[in-house]
Structure 1
Amino acid sequence: MRGKYQLGVVLCGLVLAGCQPPNVASEQKMLKSGRDLLRAIQEGDVEKAKQLAHFYWVPILPEPHKIPMGYKCFFPLHAATGAGEVEIVKALIAKGADVNVRDDFGKTPIMWAVDRWVIVRDKTLEELNHSHIACFRELVKAGADINAGARDGWTALHYVSFNLPQIMPYVHELIKLGADVNRTSTNGETPLHAWCRLTTKVNKRSEQFHEGVRYVLEHGADVRIKDKEGRYAEHWLNEQVPEEKELIDLIREVRRKQESAHPASRPPSSRKD
């Protein structure tokens, strides 16, 4: 972490350790600037956010009830990406925001882009998808690491599972950019494990979910990999939506072919600590 971010990381560390930020006027003023920037992002006030963009390095320490999913510390670029505010994302990057900065879960802004359920306002699903893919592209253009892992080892391709059933714009771009389809998490899950475990009876009817599974199979997904519970990806799909028989059978058939082609080999783990 470089330059001004160092102070921000220290303050985040204090909060995560259960301590209050220092009661020093300059630091309190800094944190207020971060809250003001967050408010501008949440309200979609692009001009105000641009005026405050030089505070890109200030950590945002929200009140727990105001930010979903338990986030305690993140940065303006996370917030702007989560809100789908592409012009604010551009402004923050132009001021020097680190596109690989991490929140308290170890997630980078690109993970917030594909997750998309972080900070939303009055936007339709179509508008959300369009604005988040635009933010995603700006982050990639600025050098975002698409294979970075969060604290649990999940990458952007894992987090796509929270964007079901609208996954294909991200899947196409991530794989085209070199996303590792076999990267495993701390629980041994590949992206396909995550998709199958988190699917629902609603998602199963999505053509994009079907297309996504087939796409990763065509692009090198090793379905011989078991997670730490000893399950293959299709085991999770069978548990969640057993009526999805055609897709389950397809994954099993691919696994049989992979096992037949490499009978003596063990599936590689691509986890990188």
Structure 2
Amino acid sequence: MKRFAIALQLMMLFLATLQTTLTASDWPMWRFDAGRTAAGTTELPTQLQHSWTIKAPARIQAWDDPLNLDLMPYDRLFEPIVISNRLIVPFSDTDRVCAFDTSTGQQLWSFVTDGPVRLPPAATAQHVCFVSDDGCLYCVDVASGKLRWKFLAAPGTRRIVGNQRLISTWPARGGVVIRDGVVYFAASIWPMMGVYIGAVEVENGRLLWINDSTGSTWIKQPHSAPSFAGVAPQGALVATAESLIVPGGRSVPAVFNRSNGD
């Protein structure tokens, strides 16, 4: 339990110091950009100085059984982003996303969803986008945290009990990625119940396309028997110039055409 709190404190220290040299683009999504390159153009200072600390409970993974503990660690640690002097942190225990001042650590705003927020958000200069286990994609204002728009990524609002919490039957665990003014997302973790991978305009939430047919794909399984199956979106999506890469938890990722979802 302690190692998670220590990891969060170290990340806060790193990002607070990093903020003094980054430009306005900051660190707007997990691993910096839509390609998840984890590399920026700004040099780090030679020495890091402790500025402030945020104490938070250790995260509890969605898949914490021995088989999946190390195979699906996508929500094991805090994965904050930085935009406009704000450290944006998702919390799966309190169903919220919070913004902290990078200079002082003071909380600036908090936005609550109807389910755990397990995946890191992505941001532009004005927008912070993220998905929740409630099956929705959210966009809030960077400065105020007020809701700009909300998109139901799941096909309905039916609820079930998951991880001892009330969540959507189709939890959104395909972590958002933003590229060229478009935010990409995915909902549902069980192909047999339908998988929903989509793209909306980041400015207004207008749907551009949605792929709802991958769950019915007839493919050969690892045990050599074919069945209806497809990608089970779990983890942060990747957007390249032409492709959208959707991680499949402990399985292989799937690649789609970024322009139309095919």
TM over 0.5, shorter chain:
no
TM-score by length of 2: 0.26
Greater share of residues in strand: 2
Greater share of residues in helix: 1
Structure with greater Cα Rg: 1
